[in-house]
């Protein structure tokens, strides 16, 4: 039996995804002793199974879609083929290109002790793996999440894919059944359809149910135009060999058979192997329970990213890491409840949002809210590109406080950032209108939405009367 090494550390990090790596890098560069545990791939889910490979796959699918015959903008193409082997080679080459930034060697170069083993709590301040036992002044849980697998009868009896295995496919599925009409299911379903697979997406509730319904419909319209069979309001009640999914809707039962099955019904925090009870860390199905400083019921233990149960976004995990460094190392006040977190569904068209949507705002504030909508048909860049799908929607209080923004359209994710800046910096709408946007750009939609908010007051009878008085003195 090998001897277990014992050590002490200022910061112990469990998990080498976005949040854990950011904490480890920040603490190490500040001169602290850091031990980082990771049992899987460095870079976590986002690099290896999520954001990076999915966007690489989407890029290939978009290239195939745009190259197909159609005569768009006067350009006609012929003879478009998809080499799926090369597509997947692009996906894995993208991962390999980015991987050195998250590599073990890079972090060891920063002074981090990296232990590539599964870690668990021994007591309130001690973390152990197979070969190492570490007592930490502060411990950060950054274990991320894994694909949720619903308890559908028969599912465990058939082969199925998740986001962790779908990028290992060697051949394009002939007919892909996707369980889940949220962002992951929609993104991957559309990508595989554009690469040439038949695709059926099954969703028990509404497709993209969290989002503004008009914006979701813009995405749904394109999915259907792509030839995807969308089954919203269809609950999967059992799975049989085939794979065949039996769905239940108001019309009754129906059997859907495909060549492959992808489970994309959401994610759940990866906490089961940590022995959190031994450390006195409270948790539930959503993750570790944390206060606004991201500290758990054990004052030495913090949680970031998906493990913290406050949202499952890579960019949120990075933001959490910054807060933990400020709080755990510098003892500065932080407030994770105050973070303004944008979200994007990387379909075509993209759907980006921050804050609450119109329906949520009406439930919270009644009919006192104001809603401004600006269509991309009125955007000159969109007209020039021949792609006027979608719109922007601004939801505010009657006094102009921004409650939420939704943008659906080409590259919408690139246009939501300015609203994240505005909300996090508590800027006024007037400051958005005073900013000069280059012409012509799609991102001008933000300025136009803000400008529309002031239009009723600017051109009101009261303003016209004031102008008629002022002109006498001009």
* Per-residue model confidence (pLDDT) at position 474: 66
Q: How far apart are CA 436 and CA 414, in angstroms?
A: 17
Angle CA 305–309–313, to nearest 5: 40
Whole-prediction pTM value? 0.94
In a domain, 464, yes or no: no
Judge if 26 and 142 occupy the same domain: yes
Q: How far apart are CA 372 and CA 455, in angstroms?
A: 10
Judge if 136 and 24 occupy the same domain: yes
* Per-residue model confidence (pLDDT) at position 210: 95
* Per-residue model confidence (pLDDT) at position 440: 97
- CATH at residue 164: 3.50.50.60
Running along the chain, 474 residues long, what does each successive block of 10 average in pLDDT? 85 97 97 97 93 97 90 83 97 97 97 98 97 98 96 97 96 98 98 98 97 98 98 97 96 97 96 97 97 98 97 96 96 96 98 97 95 98 96 96 97 97 94 94 96 83 74 74
Judge if 356 and 435 occupy the same domain: yes
Picking from 281, 309, 337, the residue at the C-terminal end of a domain is 337
In a domain, 385, yes or no: yes
In a domain, 453, yes or no: yes
Distance of CA 242 to the CA centre of its chain: 31
Judge if 36 and 120 occupy the same domain: yes
Judge if 246 and 276 occupy the same domain: no
Beta strands in 142-289 (DSSP E): 145-147, 175-179, 198-203, 229-232, 235-240, 244-249, 252-257, 260-263, 267-269, 283-284, 287-288
* Ramachandran angles phi, psi of 224, nearest 5°: -70, -35
In a domain, 474, yes or no: no
Maximum distance among all alpha carbons in the chain?
A: 96
In a domain, 472, yes or no: no
Judge if 274 and 230 occupy the same domain: no
Tens digit of each residue's pLDDT (9 = 90 or more) over 167-221:
999 999 999 999 999 999 999 999 999 999 999 999 999 999 999 999 999 999 9
In a domain, 302, yes or no: yes
The number of folded domains in the chain is 3
In a domain, 51, yes or no: yes
- Provide the residue range defining the domain that includes 447: 349-458
Q: How far apart are CA 137 and CA 135, in angstroms?
A: 7
* Per-residue model confidence (pLDDT) at position 1: 47
* Per-residue model confidence (pLDDT) at position 2: 63
Judge if 275 and 373 occupy the same domain: no
Q: How far apart are CA 386 and CA 402, in angstroms?
A: 31
Judge if 130 and 279 occupy the same domain: yes
């Amino acid at each position: 039996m090998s001897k277990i090494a014992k050590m002490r550390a200022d910061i112990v990090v469990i998990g080498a995804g976005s949040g854990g790596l950011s904490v480890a890098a920040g603490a190490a560069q500040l001169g602290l002793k850091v031990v980082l545990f990771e049992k899987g791939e460095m870079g976590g889910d986002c690099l290896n199974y999520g954001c990076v490979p999915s966007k690489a796959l989407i890029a290939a699918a978009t290239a195939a879609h745009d190259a197909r015959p159609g005569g768009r903008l006067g350009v006609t193409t012929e003879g478009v083929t998809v080499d799926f082997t090369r597509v997947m080679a692009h996906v894995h080459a993208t991962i390999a290109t980015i991987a050195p930034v998250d590599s073990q060697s890079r972090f060891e170069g920063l002074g981090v002790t990296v232990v590539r083993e599964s870690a668990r709590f021994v007591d309130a301040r001690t973390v152990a793996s197979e070969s190492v036992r570490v007592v930490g002044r502060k411990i950060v849980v950054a274990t991320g999440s894994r694909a949720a697998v619903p308890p559908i009868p028969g599912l465990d009896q058939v082969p199925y894919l998740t986001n962790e295995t779908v990028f290992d496919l060697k051949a394009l599925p002939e007919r892909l059944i996707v369980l889940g009409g949220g962002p992951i299911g929609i993104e991957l379903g559309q990508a595989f359809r554009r690469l040439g697979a038949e695709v059926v997406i099954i969703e028990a509730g509404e497709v993209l149910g969290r989002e503004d319904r008009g914006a979701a419909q813009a995405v749904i319209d394109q999915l259907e135009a792509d030839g995807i069979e969308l089954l919203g309001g269809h609950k999967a009640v059992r799975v049989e060999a085939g794979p065949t999914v039996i769905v239940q809707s108001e019309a009754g039962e129906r059997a859907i058979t495909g060549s492959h099955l992808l489970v994309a019904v959401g994610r759940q925090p990866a906490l089961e192997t940590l022995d959190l009870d031994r450390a006195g860390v409270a948790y539930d199905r959503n993750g570790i329970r944390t206060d606004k400083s991201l500290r758990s019921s054990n004052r030495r233990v913090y949680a970031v990213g998906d493990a913290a149960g406050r949202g499952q976004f890579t960019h949120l995990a990075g933001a959490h890491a910054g807060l933990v460094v400020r709080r755990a190392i510098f003892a500065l006040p932080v407030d994770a409840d105050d973070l303004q977190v944008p979200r994007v569904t990387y379909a075509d068209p993209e759907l980006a949002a921050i804050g609450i949507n119109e329906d949520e705002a009406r439930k919270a504030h009644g009919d006192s809210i104001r809603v401004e909508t600006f269509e991309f048909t009125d955007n000159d860049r969109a007209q020039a590109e021949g792609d006027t799908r979608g719109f922007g929607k601004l939801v505010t209080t009657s006094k102009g406080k921004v409650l939420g923004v939704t943008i659906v359209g080409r590259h919408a994710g690139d246009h939501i950032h300015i609203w994240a800046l505005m909300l996090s910096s508590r800027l006024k709408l007037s400051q958005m209108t005073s900013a000069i946007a280059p012409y012509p750009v799609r991102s001008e939609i933000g300025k136009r939405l803000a400008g529309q908010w002031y239009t009723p007051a600017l051109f009101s009878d009261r303003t016209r009367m004031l102008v008629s008085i002022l002109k006498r003195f001009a």
